[in-house]
Amino acid sequence: MLPGNSKDYVQAGTRALKGNFKMRLTQLNGLLAFVTVAERRGFSAAARTLGVSPSALSQAIRNLEARVGVTLLVRTTRSVSLTEAGERLLARSSPSLKEALAAVEEASGASDAVVGRLRLTVPRIAVPLIIEPVLPVLRQRHPQLAIEISVDDRFVDIMAEGHDAGIRLSEAVERDMVVVRISPPFRFVVVGAPSYLKARGRPVVPKDLLGHECIGYRAATSGTLYQWEFERRGRESQVAVRGSLVCNDAELMGRAAVAGLGLAYVSEQVVAEDIEAGRLEVVLEDYAPEVPGLFLYFPSRAQKLPKLRALIDAVRSLSASSSRL
């Protein structure tokens, strides 16, 4: 039996437990804020991810730094960088924090309710082919699901950048991911306007492109100019084309080709309407390479989440109705 007034001891213990819980909860909130800002390299992007204001996020990190007694982030007007202490904290805390959040999300998804936020990273090519037709279906079926889409042609580490899933060509998918096909194979073709081809002639073999005005593509990940790839009878080749126009958007390349500004190398679907209407013509068709298609990828532990199953179901239902897969 407890000495003295046992009721006083219970009340004191309860107050201590509440205080300790509140302190630990505040620390976890600050840690989540820190990891998100560190990985997004900015307060604005992190605030959008967490659904809070940048000022609230900044205050949470200041409180965390005050508790640990060291500076974790170096802030400038344009960027955020980590101190050595911040790098150590990020390395130790980020994996465990993500595991905990994933576990909570899986538990909350056990009821099969499609709720929460679905964060996707997709290349530009996937926007007209996949995202535009799928979004209305998802919104109609699951009005409680919030959707956030980042359009980015660079290779993205979805775990590090806080995405639930990504869409990429097969060669850009990390090997430890679950992969689901969401498009049929398609070709990359070289196209030009009839006016351009009449004035400059038609290339017969890929090396002929060196004598043509070619609309270049600068890779988002490496920053290098993309070398056009070709394949014929199992033999692959590349051509480092030249031209006075360079961009990083396939639709813009197609429109520039329609305007007669040069030859463009794009996926066939992007310019299908222009080809059918006669605004563009395909050249070097015998050398056009085929790629396996677009694929949805995500961590294996996330495959049971209702929001991902909802996305896959929506894509497959559209594919079945249009007989594209």
* Per-residue confidence in pLDDT tens, the chain, 325 aa: 444 454 444 344 444 334 443 444 455 667 788 888 887 778 887 777 777 788 888 888 888 888 888 888 887 666 778 888 888 888 887 776 766 666 665 555 545 678 788 999 998 889 988 999 999 999 999 988 889 999 988 877 787 778 888 998 876 666 678 888 888 899 999 999 999 999 999 999 999 999 999 999 988 767 789 999 999 988 999 999 999 999 988 899 999 999 999 999 999 988 999 999 999 999 999 999 998 889 888 887 777 788 888 998 888 887 665 544 4
Quick one: pLDDT at residue 113?
73
So what's the architecture of 6-108 in CATH? Answer: Orthogonal Bundle (1.10)
Quick one: pLDDT at residue 77?
61
Boundaries of CATH 3.40.190.10 in the chain?
115-178+294-322
Pick the CATH number of 115-178+294-322 from 3.40.50.300, 3.40.50.720, 3.40.630.30, 3.40.190.10: 3.40.190.10
Quick one: pLDDT at residue 213?
97
Boundaries of CATH 3.40.190.290 in the chain?
186-291
Domain covering 186-291, topology: D-Maltodextrin-Binding Protein; domain 2 (3.40.190)
Helix (H) / strand (E) element for 119: namely strand 116-122
Count Cβ neighbours within 10 Å for each residue of 187-200 and write b for 16 or more, e otherwise. ebbbbbbeebbeee
CA distances (Å), 257 to each of 88, 242, 317, in order? 50, 15, 34
Count Cβ neighbours within 10 Å for each residue of 40-75 and write b for 16 or more, e otherwise. bebbebbbebbebeeeebbebbeebbeebeeebbee
Quick one: pLDDT at residue 324?
44
CA distance 295 to 184: 10
Strands 228-232, 186-192: pairing is unpaired
How many Cβ atoms sit within 10 Å of the Cβ of residue 9?
Answer: 12
Contacts of 44 (CB under 8 A, 6+ apart): 54
Tokens 């009821």 locate to 111
How many Cβ atoms sit within 10 Å of the Cβ of residue 15?
Answer: 10
